[in-house]
Structure 1
Amino acid sequence: METTFDVRVWTTQVRKNKQGKVTSYRVRWQVGGEPFGKSFSTSTLADGFRARLVTAARNGEPFCLNTGLPVSQTKNKTNNVTWYQAACEYADMKWPDSAPKYRRSIAQSLTAITVPMLDGRNLPDPKLLRKALTTAFNPRSRNGELQPDIRQALTVAAKASRNVSELTNPDTLRAVLRALDLKLDGNRASANTVRLRRITLRNAIDFFIEKKYLDSNPLQGIKVKKRKVALRQVDPKSVCNPMQGRMLISAVGMSGKQGPPLEAFFGSIYYAALRPEEAGNLKESNLDLPPPEQDPVTGEVTYGWGDINLDSARPEISGEWTDSGEAGEAGPLKHRERGVGRPVPCPPPLTELFYRHLTRFGTAPDGRLFRGARDGGLVSSSVYGRVWAAAREQVFTAEVAAGPLAKRPYDLRAAAVSTQLNSGVSPMRVAEWAGHSLSVLLRVYARCLDGGDQADRAKLRQNFTSG
């Protein structure tokens, strides 16, 4: 532990909000030329803490350069726990109640936070280091058999880790926050990635305060430029119209051997606005379809409206993040507790696709409609991605296919929601069907309400030219 006698304690700073009301009292001091600060809710607490610092300095007690505290307040304290150790504890705490994708997101965020919390000397290769840290923040992988290079990298990282308490140093915390804005190549990370990393940092700090590794939240005492994070809006250029949607679905049914078994899969994304992980876990028991009706004169078969009762989803994720160790493990619907379902209407064209699929391809042993050709498992995104690319090439010209129109299978869901909104369906109803909150739905699809925009322009044109 490095110490110094170079200590200066400044006056307590009173912080107020825009209305002039006191919000906190911040004690500020300097150790070895480095500034430190700690905020309190009352002046009594702040004055007491400041008095202890002043007394220690007057008595000639050395102060720790890392924590900024007198040695007597630093020895044998839980705030000597390293960041690496504490981050592993946080990941272990979050694991049982987190979905597989969220577990992976936490591990990736903790990895991004941990790198700037390491002593930068003699660290492993950056890619190997990040791979090793992501492994460490998965309790199952960390406690299993590790590859020699991963084990060695984690040994180095554990030794190089700074203490959690160093987050109270403004320079250290600013370095961490700057690192969260960047990718491995030094370019800026996406706004959503930065948002998830900062949420993880805030939640981890709350956990460390609960564990007594930190006395208070150091984020409250540091001013950084806030990066505006907005929900990603759907690009209207990526949204196909109903005619294009029908042509694309039909093209899937004619795309080699892999296309026909997936025609209803893409149909459920387009006609019912299902997420791919919801469509991939559809079972025959989820369908409530009316029987086809045949005209006794013409022999024409018609299909009616049915219902899809969603109860689970199968996000595509490797088995190392699931409870069962099975890739693509079935779990709850997005933003819902396990066992909470969501009813979705099944339009007649989709009803027809489901009947055709069940007649021609049947189901997997567990009742799932769509399954991998080799092992009967989850249909991977690489497989249905290739089918979708082939369908776009059949329907679109080379120029259009090179653009964003229906580029991803997920764009079919955006097309479905946009069509529902532009058809005059209540936004509340559309949100319920799509599994969104109303506010998120309107913000995400605000730019896709082209029908309403054209109607409003027509009204204005009439008013401007009449009379």
Structure 2
Amino acid sequence: MNSAGEPTTYDVRVWAVTKRQRREGPTYRVRWMVAGKEWHETFRTRALADSFRSDLISITRRGEPFSTTTGQPLSWKRTEPVLTSWYEHACAYVDMKWPHAAGKSRQGIADSLATITPALLTSTKSRPSVTSMRAALYGWSFNARRRAAGPPDEHLRRAERWVAANTRPVSDLADPAVLRPALDALALRMDGKPASASTVSRKRAIFYNCVEYAVELGHLTGNPIASIKWRAPKITEAVNPRVVINHGQAQALLAAVRQLRSGPPLVAFFAVMYYAALRPGEAVDLRKDALSLPKSGWGELYLSTSAPSAGRSWSETGTRREPRQLKHRGTEEVRIVPCPPALTTILRDHLDEHGTTPDGRLFRGVRGGPLSESLYGRLWAKARVEALTDEDTASPLARRPYDLRHAAVSTWLNGGVPAPQVAAWAGHSVDVLLRVYAKCIAGQDDIARRRIEEALGDGRS
């Protein structure tokens, strides 16, 4: 009996871990005897059970007394530790990331966590449909703004409650048998088909970062993803040369846009992507004060903002587009891009014919707001049909407006502009530039062959 009058004993025996197979998955039990009375604890992973058993054995070897009332060492707190579930942690991770992430990043985080979470469930009993779980997780649980606004409709609320009550503790990720199915889930699309290598890589990076946050909060002692032998699909970053148009095709496409209804105000939009390699989000937010245009000849574009499309659910303002700094750049950084004479003429004509919005944007949507992806996408699809042959229309050639940017960068590289300069204009690192556009640099094989012939000679003395 201790000083507080609690009965204690040193008569303790700890047994080996036993595995119990259950319909929802195996569990692991630790049993020990205190003064002839059996006690036990059940864990979802063997790793957790082994750790608990080791603690009991270490305490008995140190000669610490056990309470015959609770069956626990006196040095332990009477309250059991509260384990944080994966669902709770994933929501906390979203809340931590939300204030500083762009809309596209928020959307990507929600997509990744909604893919992983169904692989970390502890039960299948009364499980909601895949569609309901996806809608609840992606559309509400992992959207900090919607979750803060209040609960979803009752149908999704039931699915969310079930998931919240049936996800594993974060600490279970230390068990490779739990972690591996979560990683495998990243490699599949919702229809069960293999996901693209770039998608798997992006989702794995988010999962890894989320688990790192669990380590930071003390839920795990280390990141188990770093040690597990799991191979993601090989990533293909290089641009397909078949999407890159030549100058004649570009001129034909721009001419086709001009002939379409609602097309003339967007000729310059597509032109800045082809001649200056702007990303669509950069072109959407291009403003008059970013232009330095002479009456003719070379000008310059001073880019400092972009407005990528992520959807109203993911932006801070509730709009489809939210102006931000340039990709991979700080808030005050500016990227200077040369404006060729042809683009100078197109931009000057655009300002004369169509002006700008009150806040200086060159391009606008139907009602004067930001230009929508669907609007310029439909226009581009029509222009391809008008400007290209049937064979080219059916091919990947310039299938997306983004491919105009690929054409611009390829043109610069093939024109002999040094890679560091091209990278600066395009907003890439040199390493990424050469990896992505290596296959689009034409004529290098012929030059290399000629140099080898010159080095080998023709064999004559």
Does the CA contact (< 8 Å) of 2:414 and 2:442 recur in 1?
Answer: yes
CA distance in 1, matches of 2:45, 2:127: 28
Determine the C-alpha separation between the residues in 1 that align with 2:329 and 2:236: 20
**Counterparts of 2:450 and 2:388 in 1: how far apart (Å)?**
31
Deviation of 1:443 (Å) = 0.3
Q: After alignment, is 187-196 or 348-357 more displaced?
A: 187-196
Q: Provide the residue aligned with 1:129 in structure 2.
A: 133
Paired with 2:229 and 2:126, the residues of 1 have a C-alpha distance of 30
Q: Could you tell me how far 1:430 is from its partner in structure 2?
A: 0.2
Alignment of 1:375-390 (within 5 A): 375-390=367-382
Per-residue CA deviation, residues 319-373 of structure 1 (Å, 9 max, x unaligned), is 2211122220111111112221211110111001101111111111111001012
Alignment of 1:223-372 (within 5 A): 223-254=228-259, 256-291=260-295, 303-372=296-365
**8 Å CA contact 1:117, 1:161 repeated in 2:** yes
Q: Which amino acid aligns with 2:365?
A: G
- Pair 1:416 & 2:408 matched: yes
Cα deviation for residue 34 of structure 1 reads 8.5
* Aligned partner letter, 1:97: H
CA RMSD of aligned residues (A): 2.9
2:45–2:172 CA contact under 8 A, matched in 1:
no
Which residue of structure 2 aligns with residue 19 of structure 1? none
Matches within 5 A, 1:40-439: 52=55, 54-55=57-58, 76-78=80-82, 80-118=83-121, 119-134=123-138, 135-145=140-150, 146-221=152-227, 223-254=228-259, 256-291=260-295, 303-373=296-366, 375-439=367-431
* Letter aligned with residue 423 of structure 2: A
**CA displacement 1:250-284 (0-9 Å, x = unmatched):** 22111x22211110000000000000110111011
Deviation at residue 109 of structure 1 after TM alignment: 0.9
CA distance in 1, matches of 2:400, 2:289: 28
Conserved? CA contact 1:36–1:168, under 8 Å: no
For residue 456 of structure 1, report the CA deviation from its aligned partner: 2.7
How far the C-alpha of 1:50 sits from its partner, in A, is 8.9
Residues 5 and 57 of structure 1 are in contact (CA less than 8 Å); yes or no, is this contact kept in structure 2? no
Q: CA shift at 1:462, angstroms?
A: 6.3
Matches within 5 A, 1:8-47: 36-37=46-47
Residues 6 and 33 of structure 1 are in contact (CA less than 8 Å); yes or no, is this contact kept in structure 2? no
Structure 1 residue identity aligned to 2:326? L
* Aligned AA (1:388): W
Tell me the alpha carbon deviations over residues 7-56 of structure 1, each in whole angstroms, 9 at most, x when there is no partner: 28xxxxxxxxxxxxxxxxxxxx9979987459xxxxxxxxx999636436
Q: Look up the equivalent residue of 1:263 and give its one-letter code.
A: V
**For residues 431 and 98 of structure 1, what CA distance do their matches in structure 2 show?**
25
SS of aligned partner of 1:319: coil
**Residue range with higher mean Cα deviation, 314-323 or 442-451:** 314-323
Runs of 5+ consecutive residues of structure 1 not aligned to the other structure = 9-28, 39-47, 62-71, 292-302
Q: For the pair shown, which has the larger CA radius of gyration, 1 or 2? A: 2
Partners of 1:259 and 1:462 in 2: CA distance: 52
Query: What is the count of residue pairs matched by the alignment?
Result: 412
Residue by residue over 1:107-135, the C-alpha shift from the partner in whole angstroms, topping out at 9 and shown as x without a partner, is 11111111111233322121221121012
Structure-2 separation of matches of 1:324 and 1:235:
36
Partner of 1:42: none
- Percent identity at matched positions? 42
Secondary structure of 2:324's aligned partner: coil
Matched position secondary structure for 1:307: strand
TM-score, length basis structure 2? 0.82
Query: Retained in 1: the 8 A contact 2:171–2:219?
Result: yes
